[in-house]
Amino acid sequence: MPAAGVGSEPRSLEVRRAWPVMGTLLEVAAEHADPGLALAAVRSARAAVEAVDSLMSNYRPDSEISRLNASAGSARPTPISAWTADVLRAALAWGDTSGGAFDVTLGPVVDAWGFYRERGAVPEEAVLDSVARLAGQGGLAVGARAARLERAGMRVDLGAIAKGFAVDRALEVLARAGVVRAMVDLGGSVAVLGDPPAGVAWPIGIRDPRHAERVAAVLHLPPGSATATSGDYERFFEVDGVRYAHIIDPRTNRPARGVASVSVIAPSALEADVLSTTLYLLGPARGACLLADRHGTAALWFLDDGGGGPAVGADLPALVAGAAAAAFEPAGESPGDSGVGRAERNPRAYTRARCDTEG
């Protein structure tokens, strides 16, 4: 099962390849009357993902993002490609839409918690205070082909959005090659093209966040849509029985608490990737407000306290016409016995009215 915990099942697709990339596993599967063409398309899809990684990686010193970070504080903007500019602009827009919860300039804070290193540790209060002053997307300016970070020490981290963008580019390559159907899975960021091999939606297994080997729910992904999962089991450390996971709440500069994982359906992999991170931070009640009226979106949370269950965006039942009233179904006997995620069919658990009263 891929690293982020979503098991895809495109087994009947004729051509299927997997490679390690972006610190996780990339799986691409495609079908075409000409298997040679399918294989060529699958390889081109991989090349697109590799290209995104070489532009946006935090781990490659020569990536555009690493060069932007290294130039932070300098008066001269760093030249960037159209792709990197697209992702940075999308990130800034989502920062606004999320009310600041999603923030790609949290790099110095993520770094202070040690999530880029082998072993994390709770930083000293004074350290947190000083790195927090380096965050804030007001200090990131993005033009058509250049970007600039205002202050030295600032640092962009596209860990919550670049994978989704890469999956979208890979699927675009497959579509242009004329494949009949395809699936791209980059560590749990999944997008599908064409009709599923069987039925009306693509079944995607959602991992039980507390039992890696168990599938807690099956999500029905409509053709032309994408999904992503953010979980506290992906990258974390524990001190005195407290789990510190890699998604930072910008209000506290500490790892967000309360959610074990959230899986999102959205019209693109970029949106699914951004939303999974943001909805992890916001939790079900505030998160559902963000989804309300957002076309083609849905989310399933598993709470850290063992609760949870589906909360689904406004128009999902129409999107998954005929598959199920809700996009999610409990897998097997009882997902509840794992201690997380009692999955009830409750497709409109949250409404705009509830959001209004909560502000």
Does position 105 bind ligand AMP by CB under 6 A? no
277 belongs to the binding site for Mg ion (CB under 5 A):
yes
> How many whole angstroms separate alpha carbon 246 and alpha carbon 23?
15
110 binds ligand AMP (CB under 6 A): yes
**Total chain residues near ligand AMP (CB under 6 A):** 20
Which residue's CB atom is positioned nearest to ligand AMP? 159
Query: 38, 42, 49, 102: which one contacts ligand AMP (CB under 6 A)?
Result: 102
Asked if residues 8 and 181 have their Cβ atoms less than 8 Å apart, the reply is no
- The Cα–Cα gap between 233 and 264 comes to 17
Among 50, 34, 10, 9, residue whose Cα is nearest residue 178: 34
C-alpha 9/C-alpha 254 separation (Å) is: 36
Q: Which is nearer to ligand AMP, 227 or 277 (CB)?
A: 277
Can residue 120 be called a binding residue for ligand AMP (CB under 6 A)? Answer: no
CB 182 within 8 A of CB 192: yes
Q: Residue 244 in 3-state DSSP? A: strand
d(CA 161, CA 158): 5
DSSP state of 333: S
304 binds, among Mg ion, ligand AMP, none (CB under 5 to 8 A by kind): none
Tokens of 255: 């790892």
Cα-flanking dihedrals φ and ψ of residue 315, to 5°? Answer: -105, 20
Which of the choices ligand AMP, Mg ion, none does residue 102 contact, using the CB cut-off of 5 to 8 A by kind?
ligand AMP
Of 206-245, binders to ligand AMP (CB under 6 A) are: 230, 234-235
250 contact choice in ligand AMP, Mg ion, none (CB below 5 to 8 Å, kind-dependent) = ligand AMP
Nearer to ligand AMP, 30 or 110 (CB): 110
Q: Which of 273, 279, 282, 292 binds Mg ion (CB under 5 A)?
A: 273
Q: Return residues touching ligand AMP (CB under 6 A).
A: 102-104, 106, 110, 115, 157, 159-160, 230, 234-235, 246-248, 250, 273, 276-277, 281
